[in-house]
Chain A
Amino acid sequence: MELVTPGIGLIFWMTLSFGIVLYVLGKFAWKPILSTIKERESYIANSIRHSKKIHRELEELDATKEKMLQQTRNKADEMLKQAKAGGEDIIQKAHQQARKEADQIIESAKNSILAERKAAEREIRQQIVRLSIDVAQKVIREEFKDVEKKNQYINKLLEDIQLN
């Protein structure tokens, strides 16, 4: 029976000590501990939220980067294509130009060759004529050294003329 009979003394001391413990712990232990835990929790929650935001931003940034890269690539391709086309054009033009110039050069060369030939032909002809005349002179002079022959020939010539 004494086991289940509460004693006044023990209840009194228990009330006193538990009351003091309750007050002291509430003031000096639970308050700092709970507020620190709460602070930490809100800090962690904020950090997670923040990191999520950053992650999202990073993703956006990544997408933008990808887009810009693609654009740049396209642009470069286009420029390359343009450059290629432009180069071909220039080469073609240069070809044409060169051909034209070559043609001109050939033409003028032909012309000058022709002119030279003509000049040379004329020279040769003059030479031939002069030589022929010289030969003729010599031959004539030789022929007519003999007076007889000369007369004979003159006579003949005369005869021919009369006959005419």
Chain B
Amino acid sequence: MIGSQGRTCKLLCTRKPFALLLSVFVFFLMGFTSVHAAESHSEDNVKDFDAGKVIIDHILDSYDWHIADYGDKHLSIPLPVILNYKGEWYFFLSSKFHHGHDAYKDFRIAKEGPKKGKIIKVLDDGVTPDPEAAFLLDLSITKNVFSLIIASILLSVLLISVGRNYSHCGFKRAPRGISAFLEPLILFVRDDIARAAIPENKVDRFLPYLLTLFFFIFFNNLLGLVPFFPGGANVTGNISITLTLAGFTFFMLHFSANKEYWKHIFNTPGVPVWLKLPIPLMPIIEIVGVFIKPIVLTLRLFANISAGHMIILGFVSLIFVMGSSNHIAGFAIAPLSVIFVIFMNFLELLVAFIQAYVFTFFSAIFFGMAVPQEHH
């Protein structure tokens, strides 16, 4: 009986979760790219290389996933567009826009104006923005959403397989393989982030959230550094993503906050009365602080990751900027650029970890403030 159990355990422990992950990658690559690979495209051949546009286009979200150009053919994955206009739902693939050149069902991607790059309602001519357009709810699966979904699936598969290993093989087996890589990180989050910032008896409540946060950010940061599909999307460098993460922290914080926390905000102890009455100076500062915390979280992650992507792309673009004026200059600058890009990539690996750590650590500190020990 024991022998058979040991065999099952061994079988499960040696199973490679990465084989599954790899097949998922390959599936996505094959399934999407081949269909639309031959989509031809006529654009006025712009000789000048606009580095700023390339970089900003990369940093921003888009409705299709551009993979490569071959001659004047664009290799890209069309993604589903989901719109709700005046209570009516519209579902279609972004390939209907022909890379933003055409309108479809009176919707098109704005080329300029405050909504540049987003889908807007246009008039029948297919160009002029509708001046009386109502609110357009855009729930499209954009590049970032798609990358987010892939990352979420990969992360879940990876961590659940690790979790299964743990529950099947018990605590007497030393972690091996991917578990051996992940366990130090898990212990790092638990011991150096959660336990360092949150009172001992409250740690277990926040630990799953902090672990998910850390691995989610870390994984997406790393995936963003992979230059080709399915990496390369600027997920954690998008303000909507970081804002949502900060929002999760914000709501978790205020739903679990105890009396001490609210007392600290509205009637800060240890502060002279004239700071609270008649002008509630301290409460105002504290309330502003409540909202500044998630904003700071949002901006720090967004700015760090975006900046890293921009610098790497800047160095890559340098080759083409030089090359567009003179081929020899392009080849001459290339080695230098590559060296800088390699250096930046190593730096970004570090930043990927540090930013995940910082976001998680600050969340933990805020939780620690929300549930202070009853006595001071």
Contacts and interface: CB of A to CB of B under 8 A. Distances in A.
B177 interface: no
Given A9-B139, A10-B238, A11-B240, A21 B183 contact: no
Contacts of B190: 34, 37
B305 to A, nearest CB: 12
Interface string A7-46: 1111111110110111011101111111011011001000
Contacts of A33: 159, 162-163, 166, 183, 186
Count chain A CB atoms within 10 A of each CB in B82, B118, B183, B212 and give the residue with the most.
B212
Count chain A CB atoms within 10 A of each CB in B59, B155, B239 and give the residue with the most.
B239
Contacts of B114: 1
A14 B244 contact: yes
Nearest to A21: B152
B113 to A, nearest CB: 10
B148 A17 contact: yes
Interface residues of B, number: 54
A25 B156 contact: yes
Given A4-B239, A21-B216, A26-B208, A32 B166 contact: yes
Contacts of B209: 22, 26
B63 to A, nearest CB: 10
A21 B212 contact: yes
Contacts of A11: 240, 243-244
B145 A13 contact: yes
B106 interface: no
A17 B190 CA distance: 24
Given A10-B142, A10-B144, A25-B211, A36 B170 contact: yes
Contacts of B156: 21, 24-25, 29
B166 A36 contact: yes
14 contacts: A8-B138, A9-B145, A11-B244, A13-B139, A15-B244, A17-B149, A21-B152, A21-B212, A21-B216, A26-B209, A29-B163, A32-B164, A32-B166, A33-B159
Given A3-B60, A32-B164, A39-B170, 16 more contacts: A3-B56, A7-B118, A9-B138, A9-B139, A12-B139, A13-B149, A17-B148, A17-B152, A20-B152, A25-B159, A28-B159, A29-B156, A29-B163, A30-B212, A33-B162, A37-B171
